[in-house]
Structure formats: C-alpha cells, structure tokens
Amino acid sequence: MQLNYIEHIGIAVKDLTAAIKYYEEVLGLTCYSIEEVSEQQVKTAFFKIGQTKIELLESTSPEGPVGKFIEKKGEGIHHIAFAVNDIEAQLSDAASKSIQLIDHTPRKGAEGLDIAFLHPKSTFGVLTELCENKNVN
C-alpha cells in the first residue's frame, strides 16, 4: 500500500459542543466546520493542525458505529485516517494481504472525500480509514 500522510484522527466524544470548547479554549485550535454525516450516524467537527485534521465525532444514534464504540470503550481515539491516491488500488492491495475490508468499494464521507475502512480486528485494534480527495488528484 502507499499512504501519503495522516489526513485526520477521529475522536469519539459524547458532547460535541463541550469538546469543541476544549479544543478551542484550551488547545487554541479553531473549529472550521461542523457537518452531519447521516449515513455514518455522526455529527462531526473539524480542526486543522498542519496538514492533519482532528475530527470530533458525536453519535446521532446509540446504534451507530460511534454510539456503539462509546458504549463499549468510552470516549477517545476512534480511528486514524490516511490520505491516499487511487483508493480502489489501495483497497485491493490490502485485501490481497488478507486484511479484512469493511468497505469493498469507497463511499462518501465528510468533506466530500471518498472513504473506506479496514477492520480493526485485522489492523492490530486500530480502525483504519483510507481517504482520497478526488477533486484534487
């Protein structure tokens, strides 16, 4: 596989407003976007730090992936996302190395990116996201 850089780190929080306040008032970052991704049952808030983003995730449903995660593990780091070119080729490469794919074909995520997840059971416990901005490649 070929990964370009860490696109974002996803952090599961119970209360988006309270978490944004911490990232802004304590860490001094600026929230530049709040977006609901209904397909993923999350509301997201984004911050930029260098080339990398922090994505805060509040679940909009207890049955969604982030709702279930918080129920089991509590708040904290939920996933790491790598920017890639040719996301389909990266997925085929991962599959050829026996990595379990959650998404066999990319879907649309926050900020209009094409995204796909690798299952944490085959990535040493870290839910791994690949994302490609097809508008710039």
User: Which residues are near ligand CMX by CB under 6 A?
Assistant: 10, 37, 40, 42, 44, 55, 57, 65-66, 68-69, 72, 78-79, 102, 109-110, 117, 119-120, 125, 127
Closer to ligand CMX by Cβ: residue 26 or 59:
59
DSSP string covering 29-48, please? --EEEEEEEGGGTEEEEEEE
Q: Give dist(CA 73, CA 83) in Å, integer.
A: 26
Closer to ligand CMX by Cβ: residue 88 or 118:
118
Closer to ligand CMX by Cβ: residue 27 or 77:
77
Q: How far is the CB of 77 from ligand CMX (least distance, A)?
A: 8
SS3 124: coil
Q: How far is the CB of 14 from ligand CMX (least distance, A)?
A: 15
Distance set, CA 51 to CA 46, 61, 88, 130 (Å)? 13, 30, 23, 16
Q: Residues for the chain: how many in total? A: 137
